[in-house]
Amino acid sequence: MTSQVLKAGILGASGYTGAELIRLLARHPNVEIAALSAESQAGKPMLDVYPHLAFLDLPPLQKIEDVNWGGLDIVFCGLPHATTQKVLAGLPSQCRIVDLSADFRLSDPAVYAEWYGHAHAALDLQKEAVYGLTEHAREAVKGARLVANPGCYPTAALLPLIPLVKSHVIQADDVIIDAKSGVTGAGRAPKQDTLFCEVSEGLHAYGVGKHRHMPEIEQELSKAAGRAVFVSFTPHLVPMNRGELATIFVKLEQGRSVESLREVLTEAYADEPFVQVAPKGLSPATRHVRGSNNCLINVFPDRIPGRAIVLSAIDNLVKGASGQAIQNMNVMFGIPETTGLEQVALFP
């Protein structure tokens, strides 16, 4: 075990990904949480913000402008979209960064502008950002100053899709992703749409045909395919706190079978601690990975000949956000990758 202790700052500590970073980092042997920012909650005791964290020994909640950047080795940024670009552009160069917002995930400024409706405000920084789907970007992450942590849906979808597309066992142009997420994905800001009574005992699709995680999935799949591809992506809101399931309908390339897909995935993830290809027949459930950094994948034959169904389950707050962020930090600083991320799934 390495004996280094990194000083970490968490910007946006009052959001759900912020709280999850605290939960995980508080027990990480190589990290000391040294700064917490939370704009509107600055100055409040943690007890008023997250009582479940109030009994940990934590620094006070500050405004960003009051954070002492000098002492920080690593900054996790969970700020709302747009704010992020300005804040990160101003950080001293010794601070390495894992950004959990969407701001630095899209490498093409034109695509960014199209989906976000305005020009990117930190193009220089954008250029050096590494898209941190750890299992597929380890070398780049190692040397990166700024890692753009993938979105939750892209993580769940890309983990199975990248190896399948790269090895040409499925057709990259006919990928249909039906995704389902728990409500933490919508954040902690009070909105009518995520009130208990609006969400429980029911289900619906949202952002149909236009969710902002789409270009992110397309960017990475296009890289894997070696050409531009479009994907069909439809997210649904499920009455549960955590968890994300991607049900992916794929068309096999000529001569390929469900078994080919399983072999590709099994080989791709043979040595990965956090990605498991489930035994034949097991349907990955979000509850198999709740609270853990694991991704559970499986492949099933489809009824339509020449098609297959790929299932992928993660905890959106862990592998889909804060856990993967810490995994990236571990890689950046040469800490063994599973350090601080060995929680067994919490079930029931």
Catalytic center residues: 152
> Which residues ranging from 304 to 343 are in contact with its own copies (CB under 8 A)?
304-305, 307, 309, 311, 313, 342-343
Is residue 123 at the binding interface for its own copies, with CB under 8 A as the rule?
Answer: no
Is residue 260 at the binding interface for its own copies, with CB under 8 A as the rule?
Answer: no
Residue 274 CA to residue 23 CA, distance in Å, equals 19
Q: Measured from the CB of residue 207, what is the shortest distance to its own copies in angstroms? A: 9
Beta bridge partners of residue 312, listed in sequence order: 246, 297
Is residue 271 at the binding interface for its own copies, with CB under 8 A as the rule?
Answer: no
Q: Measured from the CB of residue 316, what is the shortest distance to its own copies in angstroms? A: 11
**Hey, how many other C-beta atoms are within 10 angstroms of the C-beta on 137?**
19
**Hey, how many other C-beta atoms are within 10 angstroms of the C-beta on 29?**
12
Beta bridge partners of residue 62, listed in sequence order: 37
Is residue 212 at the binding interface for its own copies, with CB under 8 A as the rule?
Answer: no
Site size toward its own copies (CB under 8 A) is 88
Residue 320 CA to residue 310 CA, distance in Å, equals 18
Q: Measured from the CB of residue 198, what is the shortest distance to its own copies in angstroms? A: 7
Q: Check: CB of residue 292 under 8 Å from CB of residue 273.
A: no
Is residue 51 at the binding interface for its own copies, with CB under 8 A as the rule?
Answer: yes
300's enclosing H/E stretch is: strand 295-301
Kindly tell me which residue out of 4, 40, 68, 283 binds its own copies, with binding defined by CB under 8 A.
Answer: 283
**38 CB burial (10 A radius; 0-12, 13-18, 19+):** buried
**Hey, how many other C-beta atoms are within 10 angstroms of the C-beta on 174?**
15
**Hey, how many other C-beta atoms are within 10 angstroms of the C-beta on 323?**
30
Pick 101 or 184: Cβ nearer its own copies: 184
> Which residues ranging from 81 to 120 are in contact with its own copies (CB under 8 A)?
none
Binding mask 142-181 for its own copies (x = CB under 8 A): -------------------------------xx-x-x-x-
Q: CB under 8 A: which stretch of 47-55, 89-97, 132-140, 321-329 binds its own copies?
A: 47-55
Pick 127 or 204: Cβ nearer its own copies: 204
Q: CB under 8 A: which stretch of 96-104, 130-138, 140-148, 300-308 binds its own copies?
A: 300-308
Helix (H, G, I), strand (E, B) or coil at 274: coil
- How many angstroms from the chain centroid is the CA of residue 31? 20
Q: CB under 8 A: which stretch of 143-151, 155-163, 277-285, 332-340 binds its own copies?
A: 277-285
Residue 63 CA to residue 34 CA, distance in Å, equals 14
Q: Measured from the CB of residue 236, what is the shortest distance to its own copies in angstroms? A: 7
